[in-house]
Amino acid sequence: MRFPLALCLGLVAMVAAGPSPLQRRVVREVLEAFHGRSSVQALFRERAVEGVVEREDPSGTFVQLRLSLVQTACGKRAPRPQNCRTLENRRKPVCVACYKFDHGDVPKVLDKYHNCGPSHHMAGEGEFEIKQRDEAECRAVEEAGKATDALYLPGMYAFSMGLPA
């Protein structure tokens, strides 16, 4: 009976902990890139983060998420953006983001991909093609750094020098 209780408490602790530092960093970077577009004049806020995937492998940490945004009443250069009210009946873009970080003390971005579009764009005509492209780009990002691991196989130096293995 103790194991199920411990498992439940562990899951509650994971949910209470919230997003990881890398997930928060991805959200922050996607928002910065979105606001950096010349066509974006309003300030947008995070509405929801869904479909979060975070995996580690020997080459780094892969983070994938879907970020829903909501438009605010402020311009993107607002002096105090925390006081901006959201406009629920306005634009609600959805972003797909995939980032690969190295294992450093201050993780460096090895590769990244993000695609933001209006929510109706993601659920309408061309949805299948957009989803396929996003999935292919995210697979490529997840593979970042793995190719360099394959370059240093045991015995490779002996073969390159013509020495017996």
| Residue 74 scores a pLDDT above 80 | yes
- Lowest mean pLDDT: which of 9-13, 41-45, 63-67, 128-132? 9-13
Per-residue confidence (pLDDT) for residue 149, from 0 to 100: 46
Asked whether residue 165 is domain-assigned, the answer is no
Number of domains in the chain: 1
Q: What is the pLDDT of residues 16-32, one digit of tens each?
A: 568 999 999 999 999 99
This prediction's pTM = 0.74
Condensed to tens digits (0 to 9), the pLDDT of residues 90-108 reads 889 999 999 999 999 999 9
The answer to whether residue 65 sits within a structural domain is yes
High-pLDDT (> 90) share of the chain, %: 59
Residue 159 lies in a domain: no
Q: Report yes or no on 66 lying in a domain.
A: yes
Residue 34 belongs to some domain of the structure: yes
Q: Is residue 120 part of a domain?
A: yes
Structural domain harbouring 94: 19-147
Could you tell me if residue 46 is inside a domain?
Answer: yes
Which two structure tokens, joined as six digits, stand for 76?
């993107």
Predicted local distance difference test score (pLDDT) of residue 135: 94
Q: Look at residue 145 in the predicted model and tell me its pLDDT.
A: 80
Is 10 inside a domain boundary? no
Work out the average pLDDT over 100-127.
82
Per residue in 77-94, pLDDT (tens digit) is: 888 778 899 998 888 999
Which pLDDT band, with edges at 50, 70 and 90, does 117 fall under? confident
CATH number of the domain that residue 27 is part of: 3.10.450.10
Which long-range contacts (C-beta less than 8 Å, at least 24 apart) are formed by 23-30?
23/49, 23/52, 23/54, 23/63, 23/65, 25/99, 25/107, 26/63, 26/65, 26/97, 26/99, 27/65, 27/67, 27/97, 29/97, 29/99, 29/112, 29/114, 30/67, 30/95, 30/97, 30/114, 30/116
Range with the poorest average pLDDT among 24-33, 99-108, 115-124, 151-160:
151-160
Provide the pLDDT for residue 18.
Answer: 85
